[in-house]
Amino acid sequence: MKKERDDSALLSLKITRIMKITLMLILVGILQISATTYAQEHRISVSVENGTFYDVVSQIEKQSEFMFFYKSEEIDNDQRINLNAKNKLVSEIFNEITKNNNLTYKITGKHIIITKAMVNSQASRKITGVVTDENGEPIAGANVVEKGTTNGTITDADGRFTLDIADRAVLIVSYIGYNTQNIPITQKNSYSIKLKEDTKTLDEVVVIGYGSARKKDVTGALTRVDVTEKSTIPNVNPVQALRGSVAGVRVIDTGMAGADGTIQVRGTTSITASNDPLIVLDGVPFSGGRLSDINTNDIETIDVLKDASSTAIYGSRGANGVIMITTKRGKTSKPQLNYNGYVGFSDFANMPKLMSGEQYQQLRKDAEVYMNQELPFQTIEEENIAAGRTINPWDVIKQDAPMTEHELSISGKGEKMTYYLSGSFTSQKSPLVGDQFKRLSVRANFDLHVTDWLEIGTNSSFATKDYSGAEANWGDAARISPYSSIRYDDDGTLRRLPYGDGMVQNPLWNVEMKDNKEISYGVFNNNYMIIKLPLKGLSYQMNLSNNLRFKDVNNYTPAYNRDGSSWLGSGSKEHQFTHDLIFENIVKYNNTFAEKHNVDVTLMYGYEYSSANKSTLSSNNIFNDALGFNGLGIGENHTVSTTAGKSAAVSSMARVGYRFADKYMVNLTVRRDGYSAFGSDRKYGTFPSIGLGWALSQEQFMKNISWLDFLKLRLSWGKNGNRGISSYESLSTMDLARYVFGDGGNTSVGLYPTSMANPLLGWETSQSYNLGLDFTLFNSRLNGNIDLYSTKTTDLLLEVSIPSMTGYDKYLTNIGETQNRGIELTLNSENISTKDFSWSTSLNFSANANKILHLSGEDLDGDGKEDDDIGKSRFIGYSMGSNYNYVFDGIWQEGDDFSIDKSAKPGDIKFKDISGNGSIGPEDRMVLHNNRPKFTMSMNNMFIYRDFTLSFLLDLRCGGYAANNWINPGTEYYNRCNQLDLPYWTPENPLNDRPSVGYSNPRGYGFYEKLTYLRLQDVSLAYSLPKSLIQKLTLNNVKVYVSGKNLATWTGWHGWDPEHASGGRASKNGPLIKSWVLGLQISL
């Protein structure tokens, strides 16, 4: 029986209400925010010898889109001009030619107004100054204007300016991408002005598939993460930088050193195929790559594409979202050397509290009473009880956990080339004994402007990672008695069996008795070439990317002979090699007509090839341990195994974007992919999308409300594919087997079929809708967006049962449907902003619900409804990840009526008779709940007081349930396991929420607990040395910081961290790791 409810329907009603309220609040109006960058970016070469003012103007007009306005009578055409300006801003040219002819100018967009200089009757004086960014680099082309007048100028290539101004004037200094400053003029004649970057500007350029776009022009759901703002947080893996930073993105750490976490964008859409997003590194898919290969400090930004309008450009690989990673480039005209390093330590964030020795003895006595049988202690336990010796298993498996990272980079930007070079070393130990990670990474990014029409470049990285060693076993540590013995008393050597029998192996056995070496190497290289074709706005780009990965895993277990256990040495050597190649040809066209019509066209044809090879050699009965895994040849029973796989894909794509007057936007995309892994009849798929945008702020009827700055409505639809299957999934495959023939026991190697071919196996296809609003309020003090989305995935890749007469029992096919819906809200606010103090907040909220619409389509029980797949917990109309079980109804107590469950006794779990037939049976099971959160929310606060910066991130997950065997006080290993320090039922303490120890749980109840938690995710306190001090040291910046990660978690979940809720003790994912570091950043 199933519980009749639909969480997604309830969520839809909530979403509708929220959307209506939001529309009422936001759809009021907005003024346009616009800024022009043409004059600040376009460079011109002018050569005039003994010429006139008109000669200069004529050359500028031929090389640019500038238009000039002036009165002829104000121009002295008899004055001779000699000028030789190469690659200069137009402001630099006019600063030169107007300084001696009593003229002044003003640049507005692409218009240059020339007027006769006015004689100021007020007292005036000349001031000079320099405008720089936060790193002390000069800003060329910044506007410097005397407030309330048209008197102004633009900074030269060195950021310097000279201006005649009135006494007690105020300078307005501005530059696109930076916050405008008002500078009161004092008695000084020279000013040093530093502009702070405005990360919330509407003209911010974000990365989209195969290009970039202004954020305000994007029609899809996209979120940017500025990783440089997280440089004081110890994010060993880039995955960690996404935690709590993007609405709708869920990141789960494994708790192991250096391990790659799991990323989900907008929940799950597939039951068995991959739900991982596509990773794109510097514009090229990072096929098969590990994010742990990338040094987080090398990353500039991460852009997350979430809806089909954004991701359809990647076709069959975009169904689960796209993570666009952009690494750093050279920015400054002079070389900039940066160091970022930290040292710190880590610990378990949360460890379940186990019973003490005395509590454990009482537990065994209570179990004997309940089970009515004797449960004697083992000899080792009795000896330790007599001696008063106990152990805490968490102390047994815990080690000191230092962590450190040091990175050095140099970058710069010249007239023809930009470069970024870096090298870093990372070392991390987790608190779990034997778990460690080391990484050495190097990166080189070069961009070379060979000519005005040719640009070439390369993005290359190398990383080697060391995971050598074997970690302690979580599950064994959780099971051992507090009276176990880890080592022998006589010589301190390790016991293999802490109890003295085979129930549980020593949790340190692999750590101390095995020699494991695991080292991997990764080389990623993307070379590109861009040719600007003769037609304005037309270019051709070629990308050639190679991703090579090597991995060696060597294991050796030495000989052992003690307490009846005896064996000789055994070992193995494994080598893996994978190669991914991508070749892309891209044609782009971008042009603006009549100042209002912008057309952006992208065409792409690409080819992708992937191969993977693995070979393994193993042997046992090695009589001498001296050579370890290098002595496999002297062993016996040699086994050699090899595996190999190849796949190829071809793609073609077209995208057309049109924008009218920065008001209406349309983006059309279609991509066609072919993939070799699918069946011969369905190798190709077509994936279209459309995105519409309407900047309501540009409409006349929206221009009278001062507190609304910007509003844009987005609507998108599109299709994506999911190709997350192995290379030969559609083919009939075979494997090796050993067969014994005759009485002599001789073996022969043979082949047997393992899977049946399916020539019709094709893509999972997801069809998505997205409705979004982007808004900016209160003079840019508050901005954000809200998105509603709905996705239906059809042709799921599922296994179905087939008659055994075929020689197989199942095969993979396209069948079934799922639905995924949700809402996302992002808010960024500038709460307080004064000269010495500022406070800003970022808030992300998301709610997501999915359900299965169809499975096999069969109705074998004849009830007129499509059958569920109970064995795999798949239920039509309910969420993926549903919990299907009996309904808990308390604990049986003395004197209760046991008629519905005659085998029960006091202390057992009581279940509800859902069917009403008077007894408890399988028909009383139902869908109880699921493991998905009802909503997630995160909030980041940043406080800046002079040279101090404090930030902290809170992460909230609400809802979801998972089975938790930790709270089952039953007969696991015959009550010889330690238990959590929690009360349980006894006749003297008749609880109604936990059964008695010894309860056998015959119906397999899950002991479900809620997964809600609130976590103090990141905390950072940084101090930047005063500029007056670091300038004396000839440095640009010095910052000292202390930061922590996962410092506190508040939850009702017992056991490991609720984010790792696996339901049992033996999960490979242990507690989350918390860490503290002390760091230093230096820039010169």
The CATH code of the domain that includes 83 is 3.55.50.30
The tokens describing 70, both together, are 């002036």
Q: Nearest to residue 426, comparing CAs of 444, 402, 399, 460?
A: 402
**Where residue 834 falls among pLDDT bands split at 50, 70, 90?**
confident
Average pLDDT over every residue of 39-48: 78
pLDDT at 418: 95
Residues near 519 by Cβ (< 8 Å), separated by ≥ 6?
464, 465, 466, 467, 468, 551, 552
| pLDDT interval class at 967 (50, 70, 90) | confident
Q: Whole-angstrom Cα distance, residue 300 to residue 226?
A: 7
Q: Give the angle subtended at the CA of 264 by the CAs of 259 and 268, to the nearest 5°.
A: 135
**pLDDT higher than threshold 60 for residue 37:** no
Higher-pLDDT residue of 522, 973? 522
pLDDT(202) > 60: no
Please tell me what DSSP assigns to residue 199.
T
Model confidence at 11, pLDDT cuts 50, 70, 90, reads very low
**Stretch 334-344: mean pLDDT, rounded?**
94
Q: What is the largest CA-CA distance in the chain?
A: 119
* pLDDT mean over 819-844: 94
What's the domain count of the chain? Answer: 1
**926-930/961-963 β-pairing:** unpaired
Is the confidence at residue 3, as pLDDT, over 50?
no
In angstroms, the CA 531 to CA 188 distance is 50
**Tens digits of per-residue pLDDT, 143-187?**
888 887 768 888 887 888 998 888 778 888 887 667 788 888 888
Please write the tens of the pLDDT for every residue from 549-572.
999 999 999 998 877 778 999 999
For residue 706, being part of any structural domain is answered with no
3-state SS, residue 111: strand
Q: What's the token pair of residue 254?
A: 């494994």
pLDDT on residue 474? 84
50-54, 105-109, 991-995: which range is least confident on average?
105-109
In sequence order, which residues have a C-beta less than 8 Å from that of residue 517 and are 6 or more positions away?
468, 552, 553, 554, 555, 629
For residue 139, pLDDT over 70 is answered with yes
Centre a 10 Å sphere on the Cβ of residue 933 and count the other Cβ atoms it contains.
22
Q: Are strands 797-801 and 782-794 parallel, antiparallel or unpaired?
A: unpaired
- Give the integer Cα–Cα distance in Å for 1003 and 925: 10
d(CA 408, CA 400): 27
CB 520 within 8 Å of CB 464: yes
Chain segment 372-423, per-residue pLDDT in tens: 888 888 899 999 999 999 999 999 999 999 999 999 999 998 888 999 999 9
In a domain, 110, yes or no: yes
Look at residue 811 in the predicted model and tell me its pLDDT: 84
Smallest CA-to-CA distance from 276 within 288, 263, 289, 287 is with 263
Residue 65 lies in a domain: yes
Whether the predicted pLDDT of 254 surpasses 60:
yes
Q: Which of 224-233, 238-247, 253-262, 845-854 is predicted with the least confidence, judged by mean pLDDT?
A: 253-262
Banded model confidence at residue 253, pLDDT cuts 50, 70, 90: confident
pLDDT tens-place string over residues 672-693: 999 999 998 899 999 999 999 9
103-112, 268-277, 605-614, 1064-1073: range with lowest mean pLDDT: 1064-1073
**DSSP 8-state class, residue 295:** -
Give the helix/strand (H/E) hosting 394: helix 393-396
- Count CB neighbours of 40 within 10 A: 21
Mean per-residue pLDDT for 508-519?
A: 94
Name the strand (E) or helix (H) holding 45.
Answer: strand 43-51
Domain coverage including residue 82: 34-117
Report whether pLDDT(8) > 70: no
The predicted structure's pLDDT at residue 154: 83
Give the residue-averaged pLDDT of 901-924.
95
- For the four alpha carbons of 771, 777, 779 and 783, in that order, the dihedral sign comes to negative
Q: What does the pLDDT read at residue 248?
A: 93
Query: DSSP letters along 626-667, please?
Result: TTGGGGGGGSEEEEEEEEEEEEEEEEEEEEEEEEETTTEEEE
pLDDT of 693 reads 97
List of residues 6+ apart from 630 with CB closer than 8 A:
none
Using CA atoms, how far apart are residues 557 and 540, in angstroms rounded to an integer? 57
| Long-range contact pairs involving 98-107 (C-beta distance under 8 Å, separation at least 24) | 101/53, 101/76, 103/74, 103/75, 104/151, 106/150, 106/152, 107/39, 107/154
Residue 99 lies in a domain: yes
In a domain, 67, yes or no: yes
d(CA 685, CA 649): 11
Nearest to 882 by CA among 804, 977, 818: 818
DSSP per residue, 906-918: TTSEEE--SS-SS
pLDDT over 90 (residue 728): no
Residue 608: what residue type? Answer: E
How much is the pLDDT for 532? 94
In contact, 390 and 354? CB cutoff 8 Å: no
Element (H, E) at 1049: strand 1037-1051
pLDDT, average across residues 581-587: 97
Residue 659 lies in a domain: no
Place 41 in a pLDDT band, splitting at 50, 70 and 90.
low
The confidence score (pLDDT) of residue 32 equals 29
Q: Which pLDDT does position 38 carry in this prediction?
A: 63
Asked whether the predicted pLDDT for residue 976 surpasses 80, the reply is no
427 vs 971 pLDDT, higher one = 427
Is residue 193 assigned to a domain? no
Which of residues 435 and 140 earns the better pLDDT score?
435
Give the residue among 455, 445, 465 at the shortest CA–CA distance from 526. 445
pLDDT mean across residues, the chain? 87
Inside any domain, residue 57:
yes
